[in-house]
Chain A
Amino acid sequence: MAKQYKSLHPVKYYRDYLSHNIRPDGREFDEFRPTLLNVGTIDTADGSAISKLGRTTVVCGIKAEFCKPKAETPNKGFIVPNLELSPLCSPKFRPGPPSDQAQVLTQLIADIIENSHCIDLKDLCIFPDRLAWCLFVDFVCLDFDGAVVDACILALMGALQTLCLPSVDYDPALDNKLVNLEKRISVPVHSTPISTTFTIFDDKIILVDPTVDEENLCSGILTIVLRGDEICSLHKPGGSPLTDEDLSSCIEKCKQRATSIKDLIKTVVKDYNNK
């Protein structure tokens, strides 16, 4: 009976739950879903990680290729992030070119990478104006159950911190490059941005780490990305307005979340490195 009620009156179904301040999957309003991170699983990629936020699963794979730096920025390499919401992860998406939602999230992730300066493009330059690394960062969403940006940024951090590029000695005169696969050098990661997503329900209740149903029924979404104690992105695309107190309480929650996620990444990367 409950399933029928949920499909016929989704909003009422949710309001009944929220009136007893509990969510349908049994969580409190500010409780996060179990978070898992697995690093270095795909060895055809130079850096890879799989992150699971509750049921939302995202695989991030980084492949590096040579390229010629742009004329106006001769000493900078490239980072090319792309999020693929394939029809595999949810019935909402159809095969073919990426949907609007995929493009919006891709741009959001690209902005976060740029704002957080987690990778300095100058480190990707092998020889100014002649040769540089181009990191293709491809996110593939395997299960779309809300808060995809958080899962992507977590996977990105896992992949970046285990990324190792082969050493290259480049001879500009003859323009030939010799790659030595055994000696691999890691790319310095300057900061670890942590993203948290909130949804605003009926203009007053703020839920953390929403599932896809909550994202569809909510009246506003807020994504905050913290870097250390600085904020590197605060993205609220419209939706019901937010008072200042709510905003600052959200930022507090982000700070606690950031510390726990940072420890998670540290331990996982440490196990991977000494394995």
Chain B
Amino acid sequence: MESPQFSCKLGVLSRPDASVIFCEGETVVMAGIYGPIEVKMQKMLIDKASVECNYRPKRGLPGVEDKLYESLIRNICDTALVTSLYPRSAILIALQEMHNSGQLISCAINAACLVCLESGIDMKFMFGAVTCFLTNQEELRLMPPISDSAVKASFVFVLDNVKERILASHTEGSFSMEQYEEAQDLSRKQIKNVFAFFKKTLNSGKEM
């Protein structure tokens, strides 16, 4: 089963506390994180940090679809980060889509995870994302088929590295229960090399 190639470069930007440019297959996303910063009065939570995420598409102003990605990534990071250590502050994750060739959401989530790891904010667990595509011939693949119309359904699984439980899931197209479970098992296998890749990048310093 041929899986997408990962590569990333840490510390790309100077202003944010941590930044990464991450590519999965041909999809490229750049992410930056601003560690515990001052929060506006209305958004302030007394006992924990308020996590915010803004996602910018490649072209044009952020539309309704990007708001869905923003809320997806915001909730995932909110569960993963130990926000109770930084009460009454804010953590801002900024994502910029550079190029999209199929696995946009999983690439953005992996970039967000990497940048959280890099920023040194405590995390309960590491999370990774995998995209599976179900082609019209009912065949599950990790790489996006060439033509868009050949895809019957696509699944995005976000799993944590402790017990590999489903943290988040976003699907497109219609599918049966069995196909969903098959995709789940496939993604559990693939998630291992995602986490392996994360460990390698963090241990070996800047470049991979």
**In their complex, do chains A and B touch, with some C-beta pair under 8 Å?**
yes
Binding site for B on A (CB under 8 A): 100, 103-104, 106-108, 110-111, 114-117, 219-220, 227, 229-244, 247-248, 251
Q: B196 → chain A, closest Cβ, in Å?
A: 21
Number of A-B contacts (CB under 8 A): 95
Find chain B residues with CB under 8 A from A242 CB.
165-166
Q: Are A238 and B174 in contact (CB under 8 A)?
A: no
Q: Which of A100, A114, A231 contacts B180 (CB 8 A)?
A: A231
Find chain A residues with CB under 8 A from B167 CB.
236, 238-239, 241
Q: Which residue of B lies closest to A108 (CB)?
A: B68
29 contacts between A and B (CB under 8 A): A100-B71, A104-B71, A106-B64, A107-B65, A110-B64, A115-B172, A220-B79, A227-B174, A229-B176, A231-B176, A231-B177, A232-B173, A234-B171, A234-B180, A235-B170, A236-B169, A236-B170, A237-B75, A238-B75, A238-B78, A238-B79, A238-B158, A238-B167, A241-B165, A241-B167, A242-B165, A242-B166, A247-B166, A248-B177
Interface range for B: 20 to 34
Question: Given the complex of chains A and B, what is the CA–CA distance between A110 and B65 in angstroms?
Answer: 10
Counting chain B CB atoms within 10 Å of each CB, the highest count among A106, A231, A237 belongs to: A237
For the complex with contacts A230-B175, A239-B168, A241-B79, 15 further pairs of A-B residues with Cβ separation under 8 Å are: A107-B64, A107-B67, A111-B68, A111-B172, A115-B173, A219-B79, A229-B177, A230-B176, A231-B174, A234-B180, A238-B74, A238-B77, A239-B167, A241-B166, A244-B165
Q: Which of A100, A220, A233, A238 contacts B67 (CB 8 A)?
A: A100
Q: Which of B70, B168, B177 contacts A236 (CB 8 A)?
A: B168
